[in-house]
Amino acid sequence: MNWPREYLKAIRAGTEIVSTKVKTVYEREVAWMENPPGDFPFVFDEERGEDPICFIEEFCNHSKGRWSGKPFRFELFQKAKLQLAFGWVGKETGHRRFREIVDIRGRKCGKSTETAGVALYMLVGDGEGGAEIYCTANKKDQANLIFQEAVNMRQQSPTLRNVTNKRQSDIFFPATMSSMKALAADTKTMDGLNAHFFSLDEWHEARTRKVYDVMIQSQSAREQPLAWLISTNGRVRELFFDDMYNYASHVAMWDQGFEDYRVLPLIYELDSRDEWEKPECWAKANPGLGKIKSLETLKINVEKAKKDPNFLPTVLTKDFNIPENSVERWLPYEACVNETESYICENGHKVLWSPSDDDGCPECKAVLKPTLLAEHLAKSYAIGGCDLSATTDLTCASLLICKPNDPNYYVLQHYFLPDSRVKDVEDGNAQEAPYRLWKDQGHMTICEGATVDYRQVTQWFVDMVKLYDIRPLWIGYDRALAGYWVEEMQEYGFDMERWAQGPITWTYPMKRMGGLFTEKKIISNNHPILRWCVRNTAKKTLNPNGIESIQPVKAASNLRIDGMVSLLNAFTSYYAHEDEYRNYLR
């Protein structure tokens, strides 16, 4: 049986309710089983994928609660996960494709039982010689929890008792000289490990990346190691959780630069915060709801949270994977993507085209090739925008362009980042963004040294005029640190407009801009950095005197939103001069 395919069928039929990210992963993975990407070195082997399922269902019993002593039976979402994680193997090597499974789901959705079972399988059933299996967590008692669950499962199974020994601090499997033990961040020494498998449980509590980094490094000598990360969301969001969550989210959506086929991200969460009051959406964050997790208990919790604001954060975080201190994302995922791009045919027709359109030029049916958006827009008046940053953040220059009798808003952007900052990201092993790739694609300039050279920003605006005859009539910016740059721009004849940062300036243009993104009227040739910045943007809402005002903020401290702010500054100037600008369209 192909469980991922069965699960996807149920998702499509609506009998399994999942988050956008989970659905996207299963759509992609199942499509690859039939049509793998060119030169994909892996093949999906259903039987290999069923090994751990059969092993755990045969040898492991529930060790506590109402099912204690009863044989373990996986739900569909678990079978799909396990078969996916274990079934993809190298065509030539036979080694597993996935190295890391990142699983986020609500509390009481069967995390510890599943993890303990998988750890036992990796000890006894995976065939690795001298395997070192670690149940890890931030704290010793959490690590022991999973380990103890495995010990109890062993205790209840005559077969596992026969083939393994329980020693003082580990379970030993003499046939392959393999062992399993608990390990935590507060363990004094973690040197000399050679891990084949580690589980990292409830890692939202991890205040540092120490355990994760040490364990990943300790796997370097293994041929098919596996990291099994499983957690609810956290009330205290520390850097490691945010890093891992953001990275896994990008991989789930297969965002450009994040195409990591060694990581399997399964993020069960509500797609938007207000879904916590919609029972039909609850399963998005709680796979196995009504089967593993009690629907009745969840209902009681939600009713209590509606009456007691002090209890609400716990329910949002632990049952719905929304951290209490999180801010609301500005736009849903889909609004950030616009697949319409500029093309040209061999007869010189410039057209907009998206993959959903029929093939060929709509005017003469000739073959189309992609073209630079700046070429497509040559000879236009524009509104400029800029967000300047010195060191950490991105600097972004924008041009917003309208054309006569055309409802679209076109956006050209270029980004700048100091070289030292790119090196820091690379050295720090932080998976922030694929800056080098974006530079190679021509979307970004990496400036030598430790700060951005604003003269290069000026040069970009000048080039757009010289090369494409695209002239900004006004350029909006918001930073005091603009300094000499503004004077330099004025010397070139640009009309610079400084806007005060904040909700008074930004509420109106931000609402309009959000509407245009949602209506797919903003065309940037799907600029990967703009898309990334828009996705990173959260909305800070203030309600003075009952009038909602908003401004953009980062959804997490290590994310960048400068491309969105740069465009917002352009829109602020646009709405200040809308009628006048519209007279100049050509």
Where along the sequence are the contacts to Zn ion (CB under 5 A)? 345, 347, 349, 361, 363-364, 366
> What SS3 class is residue 507?
helix
- Are the C-beta atoms of residues 399 and 581 closer than 8 Å to each other? no
Q: Which regions of 10-142 does DSSP assign to beta strands (E)?
A: 42-44, 88-90, 100-104, 132-137
What is the C-alpha R_g of the chain? 27
- Are the C-beta atoms of residues 224 and 197 closer than 8 Å to each other? no
Closest Cα to residue 316, out of 276, 278, 271, 286? Answer: 276
What is Dmax (Cα atoms) for the chain? 85
Task: Kindly state the smallest distance separating residue 347's Cβ from Zn ion, in Å.
Answer: 4
253 burial class (0-12, 13-18, 19+ CB within 10 angstroms)? Answer: buried
Q: Closer CB to Zn ion, residue 339 or residue 363?
A: 363
From CA 158, how far away is CA 177, in angstroms rounded? Answer: 20
Closest Cα to residue 417, out of 436, 437, 445? Answer: 445
Q: Which regions of 325-406 does DSSP assign to beta strands (E)?
A: 328-329, 341-345, 350-353, 368-370, 380-387, 395-401
User: 418 Cβ partners below 8 Å, 6+ apart?
Assistant: 391, 446, 447, 448, 449, 450, 451, 452
Neighbours of 12 (CB within 10 A): 12
Task: Kindly state the smallest distance separating residue 351's Cβ from Zn ion, in Å.
Answer: 7
From CA 66, how far away is CA 84, in angstroms rounded? Answer: 29
